C-alpha cells in the first residue's frame, strides 16, 4: 500500500482473540486478519490467548504473516479459546476448591491500555459479541467476527463453522444408516446447536433422517412412535432419528447434562438422545441405540465453504478495524460481506421458523418432526 495512504490510518496495534467454543475456520480468520492488517496497513497484530482470559491474565503474543502458513486448513485455534472468560462474570477458584464469580472488566481495560491496542477483533458467537458490545460501550474500539457452529446469530445469514458441523452430521448419519439397516434398529443421533435447531435440520435433511426433533417445533411421543412404527410396517426395518441437544421434551422441559457456574450461561445441555432412545424402545418395542456426536462436530479441518467464508470475514474485519469502522460485526448478507452494528447481532437469537422452507422440504419428502405436521 502507498506509504502516504498508510499514514492516513490511526490504527497501529490490533488485538485479536477467539472466544467461546472452538470451531473449524477460526485459524482461517486469524490468518486473514493478520495478513490484511500487517500487509495492507502495516499495523502490528497482537494475538490474545484463550479468549478474554488472555486479557485478564496478560497472555499475548505478536503475530507475523509467516506464522500463518497453512493455517487456512487447520481446525481449532492457534490462540486457544475459552467459554469461561467473561470479564464481567469471571471465575476465581479458591484454595478450598470453591469458585467465586467476580467482575474483572477493569483489569481487561487496563490490559488493553498497557498493550497500547488501538482496536480489537473479537471472533466468537453470541456470548463473545455481548462482551464485545460491553467493551465498546467502555470506549474500546471493537470489530466482531461471527463464529458458531450453531448458526444462531441473527445479523448474519451464515456463521462459519456451521457448514463443517452439518457435514459431520450428514456423514455420521450415512454411517449409522448402514449399521441400522444391518441390525434392523432405530438409531438416535444427538447433535449440538444449543437453543437453535439449524444443525439438526440441515444435517438431518442432508443425511435423510426419518425423524428430526428441534427446539422450535414441540413434539409428542405418540407422533414419534407412529413415525417409527409406520416405517416398520412398510418393510423399512430401521429408522434414523436426529435430535438437537436443545429440543424440549413433550412436557416442555430441557435435558441438562450439568450446571457450570463458571459459564455465563450455566446450563450445559446434553442427554436428550438417551431419553429419546429409551422412550422409543419402550413405546415401540423396537431395538434402539443412541450416538452423541458431541465435539466431533467442532473438530477437524473446515470445509471449503467455511474456509472461504472465514477468510472473507477476516479480510473484511481487517479493513474495518484499520479504517476506524468500529462497533460493528462483519456479516454475510446474501452474497456480500457487510458491517452491521454489534447491537443488531445480539438483539435476538436466530431460531428455525416452524414454517421455514427447509422444514417444508423435509416434510414433503416424508420426514417427521414428531408433531404430525
Per residue in 156-198, pLDDT (tens digit) is 999 999 999 999 999 999 999 999 998 999 999 999 999 999 9
Mean pLDDT across the chain: 92
Alpha carbons 147 and 122: distance in angstroms, whole number: 10
What pLDDT, on the 0 to 100 scale, is given for residue 85?
Answer: 82
Tell me the pairing of strands 99-102 and 142-146.
unpaired
pLDDT at 5: 44
Q: Grid coordinates standing for 97?
A: 476448591
Per the annotation, the verdict on 251 as an active-site residue is: no
Comparing 10-14, 127-131, 189-193, 256-260, the range with the smallest average pLDDT is 256-260
- How many angstroms separate the CA atoms of 93 and 43, rounded? 37
Catalytic residue among 150, 152, 163, 306: 150
Lowest-confidence pick of 147-156, 224-233, 259-268: 259-268
Query: Which residue is listed with cell 467464508?
Result: 309
Residue 240 has pLDDT above 50, yes or no: yes
pLDDT at 35 over 60: yes
Task: Give the pLDDT band (50/70/90) at residue 4.
Answer: very low
- pLDDT value at position 260? 65
- Confidence at residue 264, expressed as pLDDT on a 0 to 100 scale: 64
93-132: b (≥16 Cβ within 10 Å) or e: eeeeeeeeeeebbebbbebbeebebbbbbbbbbbbbbbbb
Question: What pLDDT score was predicted for residue 3?
Answer: 43
Answer whether residue 328 shows pLDDT above 50. Answer: yes
Question: Which residues are CB-neighbours of 224 under 8 A, at least 6 positions away?
Answer: 211, 213, 241, 276, 279, 280, 283, 368, 370
Residue 7, pLDDT > 50, answer no
Please give the model's pTM, rounded to 2 decimal places. Answer: 0.92
pLDDT per position as a tens digit, 203-224: 999 999 999 999 999 999 999 9
Percent of the chain surpassing pLDDT 90 = 81
In this structure, are residues 122 and 129 in contact, taking their beta carbons and an 8 Å threshold? yes
H helical segments located in the chain:
3-6, 26-41, 53-56, 105-114, 126-137, 162-183, 198-207, 221-233, 272-284, 304-322, 342-345, 357-364
pLDDT in tens, 87-116: 999 888 888 878 888 999 999 999 999 999
pLDDT at 9 exceeding the cut of 90: no
Amino acid at each position: 500500500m502507498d506509504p502516504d495512504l498508510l499514514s492516513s490510518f490511526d490504527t497501529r496495534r490490533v488485538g485479536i482473540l477467539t472466544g467461546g467454543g472452538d470451531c473449524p475456520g477460526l485459524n482461517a480468520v486469524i490468518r486473514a486478519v493478520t495478513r490484511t492488517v500487517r500487509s495492507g496497513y502495516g499495523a502490528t497484530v497482537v494475538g490474545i490467548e484463550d479468549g478474554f482470559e488472555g486479557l485478564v491474565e496478560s497472555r499475548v503474543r505478536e503475530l507475523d504473516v509467516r506464522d500463518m502458513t497453512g493455517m487456512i486448513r487447520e481446525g481449532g485455534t492457534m490462540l486457544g479459546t475459552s467459554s469461561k472468560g467473561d470479564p464481567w462474570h469471571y471465575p476465581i477458584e479458591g484454595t478450598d476448591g470453591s469458585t467465586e464469580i467476580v467482575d474483572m472488566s477493569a483489569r481487561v481495560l487496563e490490559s488493553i491500555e498497557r498493550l497500547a491496542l488501538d482496536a480489537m477483533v473479537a471472533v466468537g458467537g453470541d456470548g463473545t459479541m455481548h462482551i464485545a458490545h460491553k467493551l465498546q460501550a467502555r470506549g474500546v474500539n471493537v470489530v466482531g467476527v461471527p463464529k458458531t457452529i450453531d448458526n444462531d446469530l441473527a445479523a448474519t445469514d451464515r456463521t462459519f463453522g456451521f457448514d463443517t458441523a452439518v457435514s459431520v452430521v450428514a456423514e455420521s448419519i450415512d454411517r449409522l444408516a448402514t449399521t441400522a439397516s444391518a441390525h434392523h434398529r432405530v438409531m438416535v443421533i444427538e447433535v449440538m446447536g444449543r437453543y437453535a435447531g439449524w444443525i439438526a435440520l440441515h444435517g438431518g435433511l442432508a443425511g435423510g433422517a426419518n425423524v428430526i426433533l428441534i427446539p422450535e417445533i414441540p413434539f409428542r411421543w405418540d407422533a414419534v412412535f407412529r413415525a417409527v412404527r409406520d416405517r416398520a410396517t412398510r418393510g423399512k426395518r430401521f429408522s434414523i432419528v436426529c435430535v438437537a441437544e436443545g429440543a424440549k421434551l413433550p412436557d416442555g422441559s430441557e435435558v441438562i447434562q450439568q450446571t457450570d457456574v463458571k459459564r455465563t450461561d450455566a446450563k450445559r445441555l446434553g442427554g436428550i438422545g438417551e431419553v429419546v432412545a429409551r422412550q422409543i424402545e419402550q413405546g415401540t418395542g423396537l431395538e434402539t441405540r443412541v450416538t452423541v456426536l458431541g465435539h466431533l462436530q467442532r473438530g477437524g479441518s473446515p470445509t471449503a465453504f467455511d474456509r472461504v467464508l472465514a477468510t472473507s470475514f477476516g479480510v473484511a474485519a481487517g479493513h474495518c478495524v484499520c479504517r476506524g469502522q468500529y462497533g460493528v460485526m462483519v456479516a454475510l448478507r446474501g452474497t456480500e460481506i457487510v458491517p452491521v452494528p454489534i447491537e443488531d447481532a445480539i438483539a435476538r437469537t436466530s431460531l428455525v421458523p416452524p414454517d421455514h422452507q427447509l422444514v417444508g422440504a423435509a416434510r414433503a419428502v416424508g420426514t417427521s418432526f414428531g408433531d404430525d405436521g
